[in-house]
Every structure is written in C-alpha cells, then in structure tokens.
Amino acid sequence: MNYDAIIVYSYIFFVGCCLGSFYNVCIYRLPRGESLVRPRSHCTSCGHTLGVFDLIPVLSYMALKGRCRYCKSAVSPRYMLVEIICGIMFAVVFHYYYISLKSLLLVTTLSIGLVAGFIIYDRQSGSGRRNNNV
C-alpha cells in the first residue's frame, strides 16, 4: 500500500469516527427527547461543558483514560467503540465503492441502523442511565 492510500484511508476513517461521535450524541439524546444541537456536549456527572480537546474521536478517550477531564468520573468505553465501528465502516465502504452515490446510500443506511440498534439495545437492557459524557 502506498503512502497516498494510507493518507486517504486514514482521512476516511477519521471522518467516520467524527460522525460516530455525533451518532453517540444521537444515541444518548434522541430517546430522551433532547436537542442534538444544544446544550453543547457535557459531562453528565459534573455538567461541565467539554472542550475541543475533549471531543477528538477515539484519541481524547484514550488520552483521558476513559475519564472526565474535570470530575474524573468514568466514561463508557462504548463511546469509543461506536466511533471506531463508524471509522471502520466508512473505510470498508470506501474501499469497495469509493466515493459514489452507492457508498453514500450504504453508509447512510448502516449509520441509521447503528444508531437505531444502540437505542433499541439501551431500551431493552435498561442501560440508558449510564454515567457518560455527551
């Protein structure tokens, strides 16, 4: 694999992770009837608004060792898992279909399924009351 391909796949993976971060917001807020835009992402334990460096997909979770920067409460590893799943999903779809209408439709369908699946899982398992940053 050449360096150009590595850069492109890394970029596609990162874009997928960023959208996965937004999907985490959807998974947490939609069932509660909360806005997806306001308030900004915050720790549900201490209420502190998260800064820019707290919101970098995957990297901020690893750097903070799964804890809130402000109150040190635990953040569910599922946030990082959803981001990684989305990054891989985007990279795989790009690998097979490149940037096309088919790839756009496929990642849209898979993304809706992912969000819906986690919402349903939370409802059925009763784990909707986790200590997480959103």
What was the pLDDT predicted at 44?
85
Token pair 């800064």 is at which residue? 51
Calculate the average pLDDT of the chain: 92
* For the chain, domain boundaries: 3-125
What was the pLDDT predicted at 53?
92
Under DSSP, is residue 43 helix (H, G, I), strand (E, B) or coil? strand
For 100, the token pair is 């096309």
Q: What is the model's pTM?
A: 0.88
In this predicted structure, the answer to whether residue 97 has a pLDDT above a threshold of 70 is yes
Token pair 């490149």 is at which residue? 98
In this predicted structure, the answer to whether residue 96 has a pLDDT above a threshold of 90 is yes
Cα 44 to the center of its chain, rounded Å: 17
